[in-house]
């Protein structure tokens, strides 16, 4: 694996640190944990764990909205077919 320069490390970390764990980035690009955390802290790049939590919460919020919308639509459809309300 080729040794990455500072700009290449920044590119990888800024694009992937919120989606790939430090273990995965080490395996894929040979970037060590200390470098990942250094770049994340220095440039305000979201770290993996906090990003995964945020992505999960965003997904769950969207899922809740999806369920609520479909519940309301189903109820309205049944009421309409029954001629109620």
- Measured distance CA(14)–CA(18) in Å, rounded: 8
pLDDT of residue 66: 97
Tell me, yes or no, whether 41 lies in a domain.
yes
- Measured distance CA(81)–CA(25) in Å, rounded: 55
Tell me, yes or no, whether 70 lies in a domain.
yes
Tell me, yes or no, whether 69 lies in a domain.
yes
Say how many CA atoms lie within 13 Å of 42 toward its Cβ. Answer: 10
Tell me, yes or no, whether 1 lies in a domain.
no
pTM tops 0.75, yes or no: no
Tell me, yes or no, whether 77 lies in a domain.
yes
- Measured distance CA(24)–CA(47) in Å, rounded: 13
Written as tens digits, the pLDDT of the chain (85 aa) is 789 999 999 999 999 999 999 999 999 999 999 999 999 999 999 999 999 999 999 999 999 999 999 999 999 999 999 999 7
In this structure, the number of other CB atoms found within 10 A of the CB of residue 55 comes to 13
The domain total for the chain is 1
């Amino acid at each position: 694996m080729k040794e990455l320069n500072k700009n290449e490390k920044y590119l990888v970390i800024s694009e992937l640190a919120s989606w790939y764990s430090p273990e995965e980035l080490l395996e894929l690009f040979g970037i060590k944990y200390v470098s990942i955390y250094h770049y994340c802290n220095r440039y305000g790049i979201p770290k993996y764990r906090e990003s995964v939590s945020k992505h999960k919460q965003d997904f769950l919020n969207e899922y809740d909205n999806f369920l609520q919308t479909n519940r309301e639509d189903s109820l309205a459809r049944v009421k309409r077919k029954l001629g109620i309300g």
